[in-house]
Structure 1
Amino acid sequence: MAYRVNPDRNKPWNGLPDLPIEESYYRTVDILEQLVNAKAAISRLQGRSVVIPDQGMLINTISLQEAKASSAIENIFTTDDELYKAYSENASHLQSGPQKEILHYREALWEGYHDLENKEKIDKEYLGKIYQKVTGQGDGIRQPFAQTYIRQGGSGPNAGKAIYTPPRGMGIVEAKLDNLLDFLNDDSIRVDPLIKMAIGHLQFEAIHPFRDGNGRTGRILNIHYLVKKGLLDYPILFLSKYIVEHKEDYYHALAGVTQRGAWSTWLSYILKAVETTANDTYYRINDIVNVKDAILDTIRRETDVLRPEILTEVIFTQPYSKVKHFVEKGIFAEKTARQYLNKLSDMHILERRTIDGNHYYLNLELYRILSQ
């Protein structure tokens, strides 16, 4: 049966087909070959991450970059320096701005992860919490009267024109969302989790259930779904980096399904994104672990620092360290922490920086790896 496409981009697409889609759209030689490659890459990433004793290193570095990249897709930009500085200071003091939005994304990534640990299934309550954390809004699923359109961006002749209008009407969005969640949660529907994730992401973006933040909420759902299905132990897949680098292809593939039923293009795109970013994250983790071990050996050999393992662990949980990070955790007294950080600066392991009157210590190698 042919996939029912959107007949009029200016009218709500209440005819968005329910899931599951016909098997013929994903049971092709090309898709199955790409699926094998994606599964191999994500399996290797999972195997590497579970043997790392310091999971905080991954949680605070990889997820922060994912938050930055996902926000960039929505044209929310900041520099690495500004982001890391804001994170090291704790974002609670930020009133607004891109750093606050990006750090909200990271918080949503981890709060949602812990929320799902206590849930049997992914539900609308979980999605609402993610949306509220990402956007800072207090509402939920958009109301039937909300005139939501997806419009052409840029400054060309078609700028501002509707390219897609999501479903609208009393109970319609809720029903579409229920069908999507049933599809994702029902293991009796024998579809590989990576294929399910790709199909589910398209459906979520087509439903567009919230007033804002649907892209970011949907990308967090992607990662959490893979964790829920056991493909990852932690939400560390750096998927948004690939989308940023292939942004036009991402939106072209999304529109291809709603306008032409081109599921193969969309599925190929997402599976390639999983393969590429799983490999990228795997090598990034290896680089971080290797340089961390090398720096720890250097500190042991060339200094009389007490508890060098803990010192090294802290400077690798985020790029910018401060004296207070050690004092507040009861690791070192203020004088000792400052002495040790200055010593590492003299050794060119850290770089001492003064920004707005505050003193920071930048882990040069960690910064380099995360910026690649």
Structure 2
Amino acid sequence: MAIQGIKKLPISIEPNQATSLLMKLANISSEIGRLDEKFKRSILKSDLINTLALKESVQSTRIEGTQVTFTDMVEQIHKSEQKWEHLEVLNYQKALTMGQERIQNGYPVSTRLILELHSILMDGAARGTNIAKGEFRKIQNWIGPTKKIEDAVYIPIAANEIEDYLDNWETYANLHPYGEKMSTAHLSDGGFIIDEHAHPLLKVAILHAQFESIHPFLDGNGRLGRILIALYMMQSKQISSPIFFVSEELEKQRARYYHLLNGTRGDNPNWYNWLSFFLDASQRMADKLNTLLDKAELMAKEGMLKCDTHIQKQIYILSFRHPNLTAIQAAKQFNLAPTTARNALNFLDEKGLLFKDKSQKRNVEYFNYDVLDLINS
């Protein structure tokens, strides 16, 4: 029997469960704060952001069954013809980048932004582009192993309820514009209420699950929901740069991820199991990102010591942003003559910092395999 519909926000859990979550929160919050401070001092900063965003884009689309890898994307980036899987990843990265710019410019996570991001996700020849982009569904949909509603594991709210539920979602995310408190009349007495003033890490976990359960679009809900995690982490000032992505950890436990999301639905939602899972995934990702940043920083500093000129150093650091680099790309980035950029790239190849694809005669590609290995580790 399929679970149907969801309760509105805020949510509640058992009081004894709250203690466990709050202990986890303290550790994770401290780890993310350490990561943010470390990143502010990094010599890589935006160069690494681009690469991490590409990895996030790959991992998020893989959750939904695509087989493309991070290395595939790096190797294919300069090809004129792209497969639909590659376009899907690139659309995700574009939507993520645009969303980050909006948040940095002071726009909140909102219904308007959601529609804008969905339009980018569904653009071009990627999967689902025959479905209305940037528009909420107008018919009933369902989640299940087949295209038959009788096989559904979950049937979301009706199409005519989407805007009402998203208004509730948006208020929970951004607070009421006039400071009014959200209603808790739908919650049973005696529970620990996680309201709109809760810790942002708890809120982002709840917002993600609720968005997936509203399922406002016919396609792209999962990808858009995971983009919203990264954006809300920035909006809530948990992290100043867009570097905290959890799709990699969610992809590793895809079956559990979907199962626990489904548990937050219906008349008797189990929010504790989902929140505990999400916090654990966030902890693992924060640990991994802290280690990755330390290694990337050391690698960059050691590589720069092998360079003779400022231009060589600049182009070497650029390869952390674009692990597959061409002379034209580097020349455009730093306003150089293509010959100057090519000479610097050849120097970096001779020093073993980059790898030159000698099979190519034109538009030669230079790979930073050290970065690829680091991101894939």
Q: Deviations over 1:314-349 (max 9, x none)?
A: 222221111111222344322232222223222222
Q: Which residue of 1 aligns with 2:336?
A: 332
1:361-372 equivalences in 2 (<5 Å):
361-372=366-377
Call closer, same or farther: CA 1:277–1:294 in 2, change over 3 Å.
Answer: same
1:235-314 equivalences in 2 (<5 Å):
235-258=242-265, 261-300=269-308, 305=309, 307-314=311-318
Q: Deviations over 1:213-263 (max 9, x none)?
A: 111101111111110010011221130010111111101111222265221
| Native 8 Å contact 1:41 1:279 kept in 2 | yes
Call closer, same or farther: CA 1:26–1:121 in 2, change over 3 Å.
Answer: farther
Instruction: Please point out which of 206, 224, 229 is paired with 1:199.
Output: 206
**CA apart distance, 1:357:** 6.3
Distance in 1 of aligned mates of 2:150 and 2:30: 42
1:343 aligns with 2:347: yes
| Native 8 Å contact 1:152 1:160 kept in 2 | no
> What is the letter of the counterpart of residue 116 of structure 2?
K
Distance in 2 of aligned mates of 1:84 and 1:94: 14
Distance in 1 of aligned mates of 2:360 and 2:69: 14
Q: Which residue of 2 aligns with 1:35?
A: 25
Instruction: Please point out which of 184, 188, 199 is paired with 2:173.
Output: 184
1:129 aligns with 2:132: no
> What is the letter of the counterpart of residue 111 of structure 1?
M
**CA apart distance, 1:140:** 3.2
Q: Which residue of 1 aligns with 2:89?
A: 102
Q: Which residue of 1 aligns with 2:145?
A: 152
> What is the letter of the counterpart of residue 206 of structure 1?
S
Distance in 1 of aligned mates of 2:102 and 2:273: 33
| Native 8 Å contact 2:140 2:156 kept in 1 | no
Call closer, same or farther: CA 1:60–1:120 in 2, change over 3 Å.
Answer: closer
**CA apart distance, 1:159:** 12
Distance in 2 of aligned mates of 1:339 and 1:143: 53
**CA apart distance, 1:142:** 2.9
Residue-pair matches, total: 350
| Native 8 Å contact 1:299 1:308 kept in 2 | yes
> What is the letter of the counterpart of residue 215 of structure 2?
H
> What is the letter of the counterpart of residue 307 of structure 2?
I
**CA apart distance, 1:97:** 1.5
> What is the letter of the counterpart of residue 349 of structure 1?
L
1:117 aligns with 2:99: no
Structure 2 unaligned blocks of 5 or more: 124-128, 180-195
* Greater shift in the superposed pair: 334-343 or 60-69: 334-343
Distance in 2 of aligned mates of 1:334 and 1:161: 59
TM superposition score normalised by structure 2: 0.85
Call closer, same or farther: CA 1:26–1:315 in 2, change over 3 Å.
Answer: farther
Distance in 2 of aligned mates of 1:216 and 1:355: 36
Q: Deviations over 1:254-293 (max 9, x none)?
A: 1222265221110001101111111111111111111011
1:311-322 equivalences in 2 (<5 Å):
311-322=315-326
Q: Which residue of 2 aligns with 1:5?
A: none
Call closer, same or farther: CA 1:211–1:312 in 2, change over 3 Å.
Answer: same
* Greater shift in the superposed pair: 44-53 or 359-368: 44-53
Call closer, same or farther: CA 1:293–1:26 in 2, change over 3 Å.
Answer: farther
**CA apart distance, 1:182:** 0.5
Distance in 1 of aligned mates of 2:71 and 2:243: 21
Q: Which residue of 2 aligns with 1:173?
A: 162
1:143 aligns with 2:152: no
Distance in 2 of aligned mates of 1:296 and 1:159: 58
| Native 8 Å contact 1:25 1:263 kept in 2 | no
Structure 1 unaligned blocks of 5 or more: 1-7
| Native 8 Å contact 1:243 1:273 kept in 2 | yes
Q: Which residue of 2 aligns with 1:4?
A: none
**CA apart distance, 1:110:** 1.1
Distance in 2 of aligned mates of 1:56 and 1:152: 40
Distance in 1 of aligned mates of 2:133 and 2:310: 50
User: Alignment identity in percent?
Assistant: 26
RMSD of aligned Cα (Å)? 2.6
Call closer, same or farther: CA 1:25–1:204 in 2, change over 3 Å.
Answer: farther
Distance in 2 of aligned mates of 1:95 and 1:346: 31
> What is the letter of the counterpart of residue 258 of structure 2?
Y
